[in-house]
Structure 1
Amino acid sequence: MTPEILARIATARAARDLSDLARQFVATTAQPTNPTERIRKARELRELVNQLVDLTVLAEAFGGAPWEDVTAALGRQDPGTVKREFADDIAEWGGKSEEELERGAAGHEAIDEWYARHREDLDPEASTPVDDLLNRH
């Protein structure tokens, strides 16, 4: 297990959670509620999107992506600034022991099961994307 793999698993979890929350948000479209509650739920979605982006950056950084490429993908200008913004997370995740990495990946099978239940015809044909990631390395 590597920090990159754990970050990719965490990214998949965040994407799953975002999808579930977005589906719930759609389901409440016609339900009467106050504006504050609807806005709060929309903000939850935005927070999950931000988390997903941050985890994706972390995974790509551990995968060796140049900070110039990461910076451009984020629509930012200064690679040094972006690298500094993620430095603490890189140090934290990079300093995890093998046991901590394994513990962080526990339950990853549930993501593949979720994907299989929710996969639609236009989605990529991957029956076990997380398990495939673990078997890749």
Structure 2
Amino acid sequence: MTPEILARITTARAAHDLSDLARQAVAATAETTDPAERIIQARRLRQLANEVVDRVVLAEALGGASWQEITDALNRQDADTVRREYEDAVAQWNAMSEEEKAAAAEGFEDVDRWYARHREDYDPPLSTPVADLLNRY
């Protein structure tokens, strides 16, 4: 398994977590709670959304995207700054042993099952998107 594939698996897991947290925020809309609790929940959503972006950037960098492409997609100005922000993570993922990658990928089937349960008719017609990723490479 390549570091890029592993990064995409962890991206799917982070998106899964973000989706679940967003659904819980919708469910809590009518709950009586203090303002601080709502703000804390909204901040957690933002943190998870940022984590998803970071994992996508990592996967794209591991997949060979140029720092300029990544910088443009992030709507940032300086590719060197973006590279410096992510280069340590890219190096760490590239240095992982096969055993570490396999261990980190364990349980990916749970994300596929989650997707199948929550899939809407307008979503891509995939039943096992993570397994499909593994089979594609």
* TM band (smaller chain): over 0.9
Instruction: Measure, in 2, the Cα distance between the counterparts of 1:60 and 1:125.
Output: 23
Secondary structure of residue in 2 paired with 1:30: coil
Matches within 5 A, 1:24-103: 24-103=24-103
Two-structure CA RMSD over aligned residues (Å): 0.5
Matches within 5 A, 1:112-123: 112-123=112-123
Structure 1 residue 113, shift from structure 2 partner: 0.3
Runs of 4+ in 1 over 2 A off after TM superposition: none
Note the residue ranges of structure 2 that are not aligned, 5 or more in a row: none
Instruction: Measure, in 1, the Cα distance between the counterparts of 2:85 and 2:133.
Output: 27
Report the TM-score when normalising by structure 1: 0.99
Percent of residue pairs identical: 64
Structure 1 match to 2:18:
18
Structure 1 residue 55, shift from structure 2 partner: 0.2
Structure 1 residue 91, shift from structure 2 partner: 1.1
Structure 1 residue 66, shift from structure 2 partner: 1.1
Instruction: Measure, in 1, the Cα distance between the counterparts of 2:102 and 2:5.
Output: 10
Report the TM-score when normalising by structure 2: 0.99
Instruction: Measure, in 2, the Cα distance between the counterparts of 1:93 and 1:39.
Output: 33
- Deviation by residue 1:44-77 (Cα, 9 ceiling, x = unmatched): 0000000000000000001111111100010100
Structure 2 match to 1:132:
132
Instruction: Measure, in 2, the Cα distance between the counterparts of 1:121 and 1:132.
Output: 19
Instruction: Measure, in 2, the Cα distance between the counterparts of 1:124 and 1:17.
Output: 19
Structure 1 residue 121, shift from structure 2 partner: 0.7
